[in-house]
Chain A
Amino acid sequence: MKVPLSWLRDYVRVDLSPAELAHRLSMAGTEVEKVERVGYKDGVVVGHVLDVSPHPHADRLRLVTVDHGNGVAEVVCGAPNVAAGQKIAFASVGAELIDGYTGRPSRLKRAKIRGVVSEGMVCSEKELGLGDEHDGILVLDTDEELGAPIGQVIGDTILELELTPNRPDCLGIVGVAREVAAVTGARLVEPNLDYETGADDAADLARLAIEDSDLCPRYTASVIRGVKIGPSPKWLKDALLALGERPINNVVDATNYVMFELGQPLHAFDYDRVVDHTVVVRRANEGERLTTLDDVERELSPDVLVIADPMRAIGLAGVMGGANTEIGGGTVNILLESAAFDPSNNRRTSQSLSLTSQASLRFEKGLRAGLSEVALRRATRLILEVAGGEAAKGILDEWPGKADETDFVYLSRQKLDRVLGAGLADAQVESTLTSLGFSVSADGEGWNVKVPYWRPDVGIPEDLCEEVARIIGYDELPLRVHADNLPPWSPNPELDLRGRVRAGLTAAGLQQIITYSGTTAEGEERLDLPSSTPEFVHILNPVSAGHSVLRRTLREGILHAVANNLHTWRGPIALFESGKVFHNRGEGLPDEREMAVGALAGPRAELHWDGGGGQLDYYDARGVVEDTLERMGIAAEFSPVEDATLAAGRAAEVTVPAAGGLRVGVVGEVAAHVLEAFGIDSGPVSLFELDLPSLESAVSASQQGGAYRTYIRFPESPRDLAVVVDETVAAADVVRVASRNRLVTSATVFDVYRGSNLPEGKKSLAVRLVYQSPSRTLTAGQVEKAQRSILNALSREFGALQRQ
């Protein structure tokens, strides 16, 4: 919404600078997005035509001598209306103007025109960017002295407002003027609504019927006979041009002027083309057709409200008039409409027909019916002024929705204090509301407030609290830190667990990423997820084809991130994401399941002078999982598993014995064909996935905060044992069997060897066993005995041989 300051000043005195005014309006809720100065042109000043003489070599051109305050210049001019004694806009060489022919900005150059040097230019409206007029020069009516910047005469300041949807009144300049009056304390001058009428009653000249009153709470109309359609006077054209609106003819321009002035769109019908001079407001018939003013024939449906005469539709209510009753050069009598329409229906109609206009924009915000009559009278007065004619006595007025209007809102003192927490004085409350146009009557306990016709947004006492607060200024109101009770604390295990997982993963050196929740079915197909994976949640209107379903797994996003980073990042790539995946449950909302996923790829360490450490692999990923789970007090087991995303034989499921073997996730190296599908050619990429709801069960089963056990004070006796076993024997099983011996307090594999001096299919596992007794120092003999018994157990269970 653009508001020229000059137009605003028709209704309210403005002493503030534009910037200060903008600030005050913004603070009170009418946000001023931009303050723009127009009409100021460098190098263009007020000049005085001293003399006009013929051009020696061209009949149509003349030589004009101009006093521009800083001297006298001779310019060549083609305009027929230039004359001695005029005040004009003089542009000196170098001025930035609009080219009269191309319409583009251009810089004025010194020119020789038909042998005579022109030292500048006398400007037309178009050259100054004021309008389309280019046949003659702009003659100024000004007292400004010669040489004054042209902006002081023709310049204006435009406030560009960013309005909130609740304030359609500010879609009229008078509405903005009311805000200005309220915040500055200036007096508002209302537009003049009075006009002379003829002898005939409007009710005798036309008839009106609202058939669908649910969509049209009020319809008013006046009849003006004997108008003379023609171009608008300059002031009216200028006013519309300042808002970027093209003038059409005096009647249409007057209605548009009132729309910008009061925010109420109006429409003028050619009275004589309205059959029976009868207006019917009704839903369209199925398949009914109407050619609108833009010359498009539209097929309508009963969802659409039309203005009709007894024969046919003559306009789309609140959106656009019909061509069949359009005002034209031959129009003599007009029927002027000003009405209120249901905002929702209006919005749907303009959207379904892809017809948005300045009118529909205002109607869909919901205008109060009280405004209809005010705007009708104002527009009637203006049409009489600019197009002549005679208005009928009275107006046509159907107001079926009158009972639904909120006229009064009661604001109690108690409510005001309870909402604002400020003890405002009665007088301040009353004067603030009055300054906005509310009528206030106090009854000792509060105020009965009459809501003016231009404020559809005020309907409850809280609305009035805002009115008072915003005009006084939010910053002027008191501030306190809660004096109330705190709610009892309640735990949030899901959030706590996520926090611990994230803390564990970052401590393990992983970088958190956040990927999009939307993906495609094809994208996830690359992961070969099991067929038991729940259905997708499909998006009806995806923002792009790449986000047509909600993700069911976090694996895709992280592999995509790994693939991208492998191109640009030389160091280790160690990422994790924790977030929701979405599983369709068929009924109701989907299951939003909290997962965490990690991926490791690239070198194990940054480039370092002391050497690196090879590529990140399965054991790095597993280490991250072990660390993270251990921090949560979870002891996990890793056993081989098949998972089609992961390489066969290089994947483990993570289970928690303390929780009955509950599976909490998987870890493994990504299968070659999956890497290929993600465009990754530099493996390995290791991946792990943790299911947080399962982790939550595992945490509670792992007896958090269990009792402290005293550590053993007797010395440890470490012994190493190397055994040769089949390749298929899992290290974890060897450790498990060794740990069965009650003197063993820890068993750690510290070497795995395969090589030429071992038979094919065999490997050697070196295990450090630590023997310790809680009750005595072990003798060498006792340790030897235990070591032998472990070796025996290993050879019994796995055919292990001690490596010599």
Chain B
Amino acid sequence: MTDSANGNSSATPQAIERLTSSAERELEALGGEGEKLEAWRVKYLGRRGALTSILRSLGSLPAADRRVAGAAANRAKARLEGLLDKRLAASGTPGPIGAIDVTLPGRRHVRGRLHPSTQTIQEILAAFNAMGFQTVEGPQVEWERYNFDMLNIPPDHPARDSHDTIWIDRSGGDGILLRTQTSPMQVRTLESTTPPVRIVVPGLCYRFEATDATHEWQFHQIEGLAVDTDITFADLKGTLYEFARRIFGPDRKVRFRCDFFPFVEPGVEMAVDCFKCFGQGCRLCKQTGYIEILGAGMVHPNVLRNAGHDPERYTGYAFGMGPERIAMLRHGIDDIRHFFANDLRFLTQF
């Protein structure tokens, strides 16, 4: 009880005021020597100093007194610290006691990153997911018929020229290959689903291609497909325009030109106005002001028919794009071979 009584008597605002005044007088009387200043600090502001002890003892006061005394003690502490800092600055001591070098680097938490291809794929998928497209995936090792025949690309079709294929070694039976595109999932999905269908299909594809700065034998593709009873070319344009705005910015202009892919009719290539020069013409867009982003088109009636649907009842559109190409354009990456070299000097930049 004695301790507590003592504490209480010194923790009144009046007692605090008295203590502060004597501390101030004492400080004024001191010379500029660091040691003496430090001794003064310990006496009043140190861990066991007079003012600190008062602050500690506040806990045992009734709540109302505690508030009043606490405020007075904190004011006193701030005042004494301020006076000390001024004296220290005047005496040439370098900075406040307990100062640290705030310019030293902090302790960082290691940051893990997704591969730039994955980041780009996720962004693209998110844009389409938000428009009601569900993400599905298909096998990378695929039947020849899904990769070609059922997509309206019969054997010897000239379009197979651009799909130099890597085949799986097997004796007899139907052809098996490394898919050259994600388009086989169009047929697989349509075979097992009654429209409405609205999917996006990301995944690795492979082509028999000599590797150089712009060609890789392994690459990602994202396929999209929407089929229903009332889907038109206008929906294709609207959806892809919306996608371009989400990925490349709300002010993007898009351009649709006629192109040919065997599994669509009409066929489309979409370009966006160059996001580097804003359509003025630069090296990135080869002075055209526009950059080709994806191929698309209305699903060919043969594809619908091959998957067991009546092309007079259903229509749809499909599109496909290369995330590595898009990542290269956006980040100014000059060589596609970086993507699978897995060099941390490259990967940690994204």
Contacts and interface: CB of A to CB of B under 8 A. Distances in A.
Q: How large is the interface on A (under 10, 10 to 19, 20 to 34, 35 or more residues)?
A: 35 or more
Contact of A502 (B118, B135, B196, B343): B118
Given A502-B118, A606-B108, A487 B156 contact: no
A457 B79 CA distance: 91
Contacts of A421: 232-235
Contacts of A27: 255, 257-258
Interface in B121-167: 131-132, 134-137, 139-143, 155-159, 161-162, 166-167
A475 interface: yes
Given A419-B298, A421-B232, A568-B344, A28 B258 contact: yes
Interface stretch (A343-351, A674-682, A713-721): A343-351
Interface in B174-226: 176, 178, 193, 195-198, 204, 206, 208-211, 217-218, 226
Contacts of B158: 165-166, 343, 347, 364-366
Contact of A494 (B137, B139, B168, B301): B137
Contacts of A319: none
Interface string A559-587: 00100110011011111100110100000
Interface in A508-527: 508-518
A480 B196 contact: no
A344 B156 CA distance: 5
Contacts of B87: none
A540 B168 contact: yes
B166 A542 contact: yes
Contact of B112 (A460, A494, A511, A582): A511
A620 to B, nearest CB: 10
A4 B234 CA distance: 36
Contacts of B300: 462
Given A29-B260, A573-B344, A592 B169 contact: no
A550 interface: yes
A466 B266 contact: yes
A582 B142 CA distance: 12
A537 B218 CA distance: 17
A353 interface: no
A486 B132 contact: yes
B332 interface: no
B208 A541 contact: yes
B82 to A, nearest CB: 31
Contacts of A287: none
A62 interface: no
Nearest to B268: A474
A537 B142 CA distance: 12
B105 A609 contact: yes
Contacts, number: 252
Nearest to A536: B169
A477 B140 contact: no
Contacts of B230: 418, 483-484
Contact of A487 (B141, B197, B231): B197
Contact of A589 (B137, B142, B229): B142
Nearest to B298: A419
Contact of A514 (B118, B217, B268): B118
Contact of A475 (B155, B161, B256): B256
A543 B166 contact: yes
A481 B131 CA distance: 9
Contacts of B105: 608-609
A474 B270 CA distance: 10
Nearest to A346: B156
A49 to B, nearest CB: 41
A621 B80 CA distance: 52
Contact of A167 (B132, B157, B260, B262): B260
Given A466-B265, A484-B196, A541-B166, A550 B141 contact: yes
Contacts of B169: 538-540
A422 B235 CA distance: 11
Interface in A600-627: 605-606, 608-610
A762 interface: no
Nearest to B253: A475
Interface stretch (B10-18, B40-48, B59-67, B236-244): B236-244
Contacts of A26: 257
Nearest to A167: B260
A579 B114 CA distance: 13
B331 interface: no
A235 to B, nearest CB: 33
Contact of B266 (A419, A502, A550, A592): A419
Nearest to B159: A165
A417 B139 CA distance: 36
A27 B267 CA distance: 12
A554 B243 CA distance: 34
B85 interface: no
Contacts of B112: 505-512, 574, 576
Contact of A460 (B196, B267, B301, B315): B301
A513 B158 CA distance: 36
Contacts of B266: 419, 462, 465-466, 469-470
A230 to B, nearest CB: 38
A592 B140 contact: yes
B168 A592 contact: no
Contacts of A590: 141
B115 A589 contact: no
Contacts of A639: none
A514 B340 contact: yes
A406 to B, nearest CB: 14
A344 B155 contact: yes
A348 B160 CA distance: 13
Contact of A517 (B204, B231, B257, B348): B204
Interface in A489-509: 489-490, 492, 494-495, 502, 505-509
A413 interface: no
A458 to B, nearest CB: 10
A234 interface: no
B217 A482 contact: no
18 contacts: A31-B259, A164-B259, A417-B232, A418-B230, A421-B232, A422-B234, A460-B301, A463-B265, A479-B237, A481-B131, A495-B135, A514-B115, A538-B168, A539-B167, A539-B169, A543-B208, A606-B108, A609-B104
6 shortest interchain CB distances as A-B pairs: A421-B232, A29-B258, A509-B110, A466-B266, A421-B234, A164-B260
Interface of B: 104-105, 107-115, 117-118, 131-132, 134-137, 139-143, 155-159, 161-162, 166-169, 176, 178, 193, 195-198, 204, 206, 208-211, 217-218, 226, 228-235, 237-239, 241-242, 255-260, 262, 265-268, 298, 300-301, 315, 339-345, 347-348
Given A484-B231, A509-B111, 7 more contacts: A347-B158, A420-B234, A465-B233, A482-B131, A514-B340, A515-B342, A565-B343
